[in-house]
């Protein structure tokens, strides 16, 4: 779904920027037309031994918002890159939390620690972190993939923050 401009099926969650980037399929270095059938890219052609298929799935960093139907996430945003949802851990963002006069991420969320309206999260591969992961940072806040959280000691985490 993410590659086609939706974070999940249905209308509960959507991207702030709803434009989908172009997915391209190439065979032997030449772009080819394809049809999507049941989630698969299908190419009709005569195949030859040694044909090389390349698929380009753009993975921009995107903000997700919830429908007003999802009361717990109203007014909040989550960050995603490709199919990966990210979270903000206290271990990475403690200085921001402390600088705002709070003791924990939970206190900070209640006090509206915000993602800047002009924030642009840049991906960066960190080989030495959790066996090697792509983190996202806007220079102030740092996010790690949700699937690897809670592996660096005590502290809270949040997927959803105010903007």
Q: What is the pLDDT of residues 99-154, one digit of tens each?
A: 777 776 666 554 456 788 888 999 999 999 989 999 999 988 999 999 999 888 88
Sign of CA dihedral 18, 15, 79, 126: negative
> Can you tell me the distance from the alpha carbon of 88 to that of 136, in angstroms, rounded to the nearest whole number?
10
pTM greater than 0.95 (yes/no): no
How does pLDDT run across 67-100, given as a tens digit for each residue?
999 998 888 899 999 999 999 988 888 777 777 7
**Phi then psi dihedrals of residue 158, to 5 deg:** -145, 140
Q: How confident is the model at residue 13 (pLDDT cuts 50, 70, 90)?
A: very high
């Amino acid at each position: 779904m993410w590659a086609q401009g939706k974070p999940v099926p249905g209308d509960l969650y959507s991207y702030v920027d709803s434009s989908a980037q172009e997915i391209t399929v190439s065979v032997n270095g030449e772009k080819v037309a394809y049809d999507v059938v049941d989630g698969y890219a299908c190419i009709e052609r005569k195949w030859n031994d040694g044909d090389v298929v390349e698929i380009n799935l753009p993975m921009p960093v995107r903000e997700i918002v919830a429908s007003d139907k999802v009361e717990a996430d109203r007014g909040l945003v989550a960050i995603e890159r490709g199919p990966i949802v990210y979270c903000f851990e206290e271990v990475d963002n403690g200085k921001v939390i402390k600088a705002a006069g709070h003791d924990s991420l939970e206190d900070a969320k209640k006090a509206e620690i915000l993602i800047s309206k002009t924030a642009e999260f840049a991906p960066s591969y960190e080989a030495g972190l959790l066996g090697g992961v792509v983190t996202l940072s806007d220079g102030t806040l740092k996010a790690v993939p949700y699937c690897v959280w809670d592996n660096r000691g005590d502290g809270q985490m949040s997927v959803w923050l105010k903007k």
